[in-house]
Amino acid sequence: MATLDSSNSPTSPSFTLRVPQQKTNPFLRSISTKEPSFSHFPSPPPRLSSQPSSPARLPFHAPSSKPLDTTNPDAATAASSRCVSSVLKKDGQILSVAASNGLVYTGSESNVVRVWKLPEFTECGQLKTKAGVVVAIEVSNEKVYVAYADCKIRVWRRSWEGVTRHVRVGTIPRAGSYVRNYIAGKDKMMKHMGPISSLALNSSDDILYSASLDKTVKVWRISDYKCIETIQAHSEPINAIALSDDGVLYTASDDATVRVWRRNFCTSNRPHSLTITLPAKSSPVRTLALTADGGVLYGGCSDGYIHYWLKGWFSGQPQYGGSLPGHTHAVMCLATVGSFVVSGSADLTGRVWVREQDGQHCCVAVLQGHRGPIRCVAAFPGRVSAAGEEAEDGCTVCTGSLDGVLKVWRVVNNVGRCLVQKTCEYFDLD
């Protein structure tokens, strides 16, 4: 398994991932030996094997999802992806995306976070710092939290007085507290020693979580930007975290597990305790996504499968529900909205599933058009007109790729038929 180059100093971590005799473009997440190199665009990456997959090599013999029927002309038409226009900026690889209150935030290798306004998808602002490479974005109603390659998190406050404005209000951790605690030897107040991979926000409890490739999760108090706990979560780098409304924290790692943590308000030393470890069939877990009600947890893995767990009715503990096959390479990002599940993969495609009432998942669309691995995805509700009528079940999907292109799709699920409509109405090249 490739590892982070340890020859760099802790204060200036390197994002170059080491593989035998070849250095690939940084994904800013740990990488598995099962994944190919993506240094040659626009050619698609090779398949994992030139031989047909045998049942012994697949995690499951009977997938619990309904595959897309590409042999049926009606199904192919209903599930076509035709985003003929894209938005391209000279910012390098797009590494993070987040959406909130009609705004979309995108981060890349540059030091600029671009702000886009929906539904017309026009650029309406920028967040700039001296630090470069935006690795994660988390948005609340009032604030925007952006994690950078220097292992720090910058905070902006949003105002809605006529025009949307962003004012920078802080940095996590604060420079003064970091230096004082470094001299005093108090490890829990120090910043991450490896690249941050994911952020999660619990506004009601005034808490921000940050996960890192240094195998830890840090818990920050938002009011004063202090680290109140460091969770030694996994034995391998942590790739993603997810947080439910009831405060349950999920962490995904290269150790091929998802761990579930709960807060214990009775103790102050270690408020978060491990409740259960969920195996992911011996494949590193790259990304996580929760449904809005916290009832279903999805985990995208390096083997191309998306595993999901259902919340138990009586115990409340997650129980394995099945897997969603389809991708040929690592699943790098996931998002959920309503009954839709959207994934982005290193196989250059995105997929859209619909979770039906019986718990089955139907793949209703394959999003094709990117010339590089899809690194980040955001999905949010959107009512889309189909055949002159207002559709009741639809969403908008935003995908960012390592090819530097940002694409927006509108997806409609109308009586089992999915229409992927073009929404990029212009081509913008600086």
Domain ranges in the chain are 87-382+393-425
pLDDT at 176: 59
Rounded to whole angstroms, what are the CA distances from 41 to 44, 46, 341, 392, 422?
7, 12, 27, 38, 24
What DSSP character marks residue 371? Answer: S
pLDDT at 82: 52
Q: Which CATH number fits domain 87-382+393-425: 3.40.640.10, 3.30.230.10, 1.10.3720.10, 2.130.10.10?
A: 2.130.10.10
What DSSP character marks residue 36? Answer: P
pLDDT at 264: 82
pTM: 0.78
Q: Does residue 205 sit in helix, strand or coil?
A: helix
pLDDT at 17: 35
pLDDT at 83: 67
pLDDT at 182: 53
Q: Which two tokens stand for residue 196?
A: 């941050």
Concatenate the DSSP letters of all residues of 134-201 into one string. Answer: EEEEEE-SSEEEEEETTS-EEEEEEE-SSS-EEEEEEEES-HHHHHHHHHHT-GGGSPPSS-EEEEEE
Using DSSP bridges, classify how beta strands 112-117 and 103-108 pair: parallel, antiparallel or unpaired. Answer: antiparallel
> What whole-number distance in Å separates Cα of residue 87 and Cα of residue 428?
5
Q: Going residue by residue through the chain (430 aa), what tens digit of pLDDT does each one get?
A: 444 444 444 444 443 333 334 444 444 444 443 444 444 333 334 333 333 333 333 333 334 445 444 334 334 334 444 564 589 998 999 999 999 888 999 999 998 999 999 888 889 999 999 888 999 999 998 899 999 999 999 999 998 777 888 999 999 998 755 555 555 555 545 789 999 999 999 988 899 999 999 999 999 999 999 999 999 999 999 999 999 998 999 999 999 999 999 988 776 667 899 999 999 988 999 999 999 999 999 999 999 999 999 998 887 889 999 999 999 999 999 999 999 999 999 999 999 999 998 889 999 889 999 999 999 999 988 654 444 444 446 788 999 999 999 999 988 775 444 444 444 433 344 4
Ramachandran area for residue 151 (φ above 0: left; ψ -120 to 50: alpha; else beta): left
Q: Smallest Cα–Cα separation from 106: which of 412, 407, 332?
A: 407
pLDDT at 387: 42
